[in-house]
Chains A and B, each alone.
Chain A
Amino acid sequence: GQQVMQIPQYQHVQEGEDFTTYCNSSTTLSNIQWYKQRPGGHPVFLIQLVKSGEVKKQKRLTFQFGEAKKNSSLHITATQTTDVGTYFCAGKTSNTGKLIFGQGTTLQVKP
């Protein structure tokens, strides 16, 4: 079945360092979404990418969708303690219509 893999599972960084999480799908995606879940909280939508090769920015966050629409990345520049949480990618294929979540990357930021 369709799988969405995300790496790394955990990342510890010093405040001010950059952070990247990668997402790979076993099948071509119609779109990919990114969510953030704070400790003890619920997933909150960050962004959706639809076009091949698309790049979107939200302040210090940069999101990319691969040319083949099978992979994506989230890059955070100069991390802050408020960035702590688990970041999930979620992919949707046009044939199944299901939103499949990656395993998530849990980011810890040391002040």
Chain B
Amino acid sequence: DTAVSQTPKYLVTQMGNDKSIKCEQNLGHDTMYWYKQDSKKFLKIMFSYNNKELIINETVPNRFSPKSPDKAHLNLHINSLELGDSAVYFCASSPLGTGGTEAFFGQGTRLTVV
């Protein structure tokens, strides 16, 4: 069983569209994250949720809206997609607070905006 699963793995869409990426973890972790990895492999934290509550919200455009229906799920909705949103988005989870112990990453979603 995959510990942290994201869907879809690949997403190609046109500018201006709205899209969602889903993430689920079956590890029983309390904390989940979204990271953005650009073409230079830089991993930047976007959001962090602890037990469905938003605790970290980095400087991310309002077009990005995370939603956590329960502590096992953290979805990412993106409105009005722009070319610069093209990147690999990783969902991750960890068991204790924000980065207290190791983070388990999903396989990533490669988003390409054309």
A residues in contact (CB < 8 Å) with B: 33, 35, 37, 41-45, 48, 86, 88, 90, 92, 96-101, 103-104, 106
Contact = CB atoms under 8 A, between A and B. Distances in A.
Given A103-B42, A106-B41, A42 B102 contact: no
B78 to A, nearest CB: 20
B103 A98 contact: no
Interface of A is mostly: strand
B102 to A, nearest CB: 4
Contact of A98 (B43, B48, B102, B108): B48
Interface of B: 33, 35, 40-45, 48, 55-56, 90, 94, 97-108
A33 B102 contact: yes
Nearest to A33: B102
Contact of B41 (A86, A96, A98): A86
14 contacts: A33-B99, A33-B102, A33-B103, A42-B106, A43-B103, A45-B103, A45-B104, A48-B102, A97-B98, A98-B56, A99-B98, A101-B35, A101-B43, A103-B42
A103 B40 contact: yes
Contact of B99 (A41, A99, A103): A99
A89 B43 CA distance: 11
A104 B99 contact: no
B52 to A, nearest CB: 17
A98 B101 contact: no
